[in-house]
Structure 1
Amino acid sequence: MTAIPRSALILGLAGVVPFVWGAATILAPGLFDWGLATFGPRFVGPYVQLFYGAVILSFMSGVLWGFATKAEGSRAATGYALSTLPALWAFFTTGGGEMRAALNLMIGFLALLLLDAAFVRWGLAPRWWLPLRLLLTGLVVACLAVIPLA
């Protein structure tokens, strides 16, 4: 297995911070109150997690699109088509209330792992990509799971 580049790992973990913050403000009412007073309602509790989760799934569509540019012919067309799925999933499934949106985001992030694995298997993503995505997805899904449990 190829080691995850340090910069990719650090930036990936930094990208998980809003999920951790959202979960922390759900679990600690005092932190929620402080965050609400300091940052406003969009940046605490499930609101920050759900909005940011939809943004990140859309971002991941762009990452996969970039990987698809390495392919040619029908593999490229397949890669481009598959790369749109995370953003479409986020767009169409994050309504309907906090619990439903959180569950759909968790499904979206877990399904994204299947796409990540396919892109690695096709040689379009680096070998270290899947270990990084497994780590980050585990953290994100754990944080999102706090919403239905709260």
Structure 2
Amino acid sequence: MLQIPRSALILGLAGVIPFAWGALTLVSDPLASWGTGALGPRFVGPYVQLFYGSVILSFMSGVLWGFATKAQGGQAATGYALSVIPALWAFFMTGGGPVSAGMNLIFGFLGLLILDWQFWRWGLAPAWWMRLRGLLTALVVASLAVGVIL
């Protein structure tokens, strides 16, 4: 089955909303003002993108850990070791200001895509996994790029 299950696609796309919202509030002063007033300054611009991006990289570490539980022996050990990289990357690489943190999140999500591919190649992820992860990664990286460029 190569078609992405509807629920996974909808929830995955919903998970992109904070990244897209952050980008929109960077390019639209009226949205940024409304968001700051209604939601608070932490939920607009790069702030929402950077915090949420760290959370999602950590979440994806858990997803990869779950995939590693399907493996045996050395492959399982390798899978467990690889699965912690996104969370550690988020922890160590998202300081130093919004531009460098945004760039490091972009690199983190691109690196995660490589890990996704490896787990998929090993047969530990669903057949449709790379279709979903490619789409979501492209949207996340594009959103984060707005924060880095502006």
Short-chain TM bin:
over 0.9
What letter is aligned with 1:49?
Answer: Q
Q: Distance in 1 between matches of 2:148 and 2:54?
A: 17
Task: Tell me which amino acid in the other structure corresponds to 1:36.
Answer: T
User: Which residues of structure 1 form unaligned runs of 5+?
Assistant: none
User: For 1:37-56, what per-residue CA distance to the aligned partner results, in whole angstroms no more than 9, with x for missing partners?
Assistant: 00001100100000000000
Cα RMSD (Å): 0.7
Question: How far apart in 2 are the matches of 1:73 and 1:139?
Answer: 35
Task: Confirm or deny that 1:66 pairs with 2:61.
Answer: no
Aligned counterparts of 2:35 and 2:73: Cα–Cα separation in 1: 50
Structure-2 separation of matches of 1:25 and 1:84: 31
What residue is the counterpart of 1:5 in the other structure? Answer: 5
Match of 1:24 in 2: 24
Runs of 4+ in 1 over 2 A off after TM superposition: none
SS in 2 for 1:145: helix
Q: Distance in 2 between matches of 1:107 and 1:134?
A: 14
Aligned pair count reads 150
Q: Percent identity?
A: 70
* CA distance in 2 between partners of 1:79 and 1:104 (Å): 23
CA distance in 2, matches of 1:85, 1:127: 23
TM-score, normalised by the number of residues in structure 2: 0.99
